[in-house]
Chains A and B, each alone.
Chain A
Amino acid sequence: MITDTQLELWEVFMQSKPGANYIHAGSVHASDKSMALQNARDTYSRRGEGTSIWVVPASAIVASNPDDNDLFFDPANDKVYRHPTFYVMPKDAKAI
């Protein structure tokens, strides 16, 4: 017995032109991956906004927890030697 639902939630990522990053566009509902792709195209690319689309079941996405942000992202801040400005250049050397 199949009950009436609004189908599964999928997240849509779109590449605006070849070579660009895939950026989250929004979400769609669909029963399977081919319907998700078609719905994503109809919903988020009516004016050539995309040249390529990824659809991902929303349930498969793992997101960081904002409550853990301090612990999770902080260690990066004290590693100043990861930035080029940390280094002393000899006076006459030109930057590449």
Chain B
Amino acid sequence: MENKEQAIEEEILINFEKKIENGDSIEPKDKMPDGYRKHLIRQISQHAHSEVIGMQPEGNWITRAPTLRAKQILLAKIQDEGGHGLYLYGAAETLGISRSELIEQLHTGKAKYSNIFNYPALTWADIGAIGWLVDGAAIVNQVSLQRTSYGPYSRAMVRICKEESFHQRQGYEIMAKMMAGTKEQQEMAQDAMNRWWWPSLMMFGPHDSSSPNSGNAFKWKIKRHSNDELRHKFIDKTVQQAQVIGLTIPDKDLKWNEKTGHYEHGAINWYEFHKVIAGNGPCNKQRMEHHIKVHNDGKWVREAAEAHRLKKERQN
């Protein structure tokens, strides 16, 4: 019996890998190896949770936006992020996990979200830095994922990428405006840059030399570019934008490499990265408590909606 099951699983794997090799996309009803399904659920749900948790540091500034224009833009941007979360939850659900399970995994800590959102948004310049650097880094990653092998994930990425470019631009505009302002505004912008630069580089994950689990992710075309490749892409385009508006990159070892055509950055503080992942960042506790509270506060609304549906069904 066990041999028979093994043979079936092997056949699934062979057919699946043939499809991947051909560059075909995988759809929800296609047979796929368990490892592929698990990897995707972990990655897509982490991505979805990041979009939703990422609304918190920015939401914190809606009531304090300096102008009505800035407030409208920030609201629209945060609403987009909520939408991104929903596209991605939808994609994860096609793999056979329910929305309730996904939320429960977030609340119990089984599922992670991007480390970057465990840092606080201290000043208005942070809203600029988040849009410019954090969304900028996210875009580089998401553009690459548009060609990921799982159809629903890839389609969600295409939709997200269309919306993200405004996010990065509105952040850059805030930074540019502040750099063209008073000395205090310039200092505030540089301070935000100093605090967000390194965590943004960490968003791409560990160096290629120390990420042992990426083998299948590449073979199965979930991941199309390596962490370091994407990080370099981000640095190359961002350094130029910083220079244009007079911001200094807080990395004294940063230098242009004529041969590779890329910038080389100084050493990343992975100790801090792991410390924050382990739950000891400045805002981990606050972010999770807030999510749990809002989820519980919304319970009566969901229950009322259900009661309303049942009542209407009885009337018909």
By a beta-carbon cutoff of 8 Å, the part of chain A in contact with chain B is: 2-7, 9, 26-32, 35, 42-43, 46-47, 63, 65-67
Contacts and interface: CB of A to CB of B under 8 A. Distances in A.
Contacts of A6: 98-100, 103, 302
Contact of B305 (A9, A31, A43, A65): A31
Given A2-B303, A43-B83, A9 B309 contact: no
Contact of B302 (A7, A9, A26): A7
**Top 7 A-B pairs ranked by shortest CB distance?**
A31-B305, A6-B99, A27-B90, A31-B309, A32-B309, A2-B303, A2-B306
B307 interface: yes
Interface of B: 27, 29-31, 76, 79-80, 83, 86-87, 90, 93, 98-100, 103, 155-156, 159, 163, 299, 302-303, 305-310, 312
A63 B29 contact: yes
Given A2-B306, A28-B86, A66 B30 contact: yes
A59 B279 CA distance: 39
Contacts of B80: 46
Nearest to A11: B90
Given A4-B299, A26-B156, A43-B86, A65 B29 contact: yes
Nearest to B88: A26
A38 to B, nearest CB: 12
A5 B302 contact: yes
Contact of A27 (B79, B93, B163): B93
A4 B302 contact: yes
B156 A2 contact: no
Nearest to B155: A26
Nearest to B299: A4
A2 B156 CA distance: 32
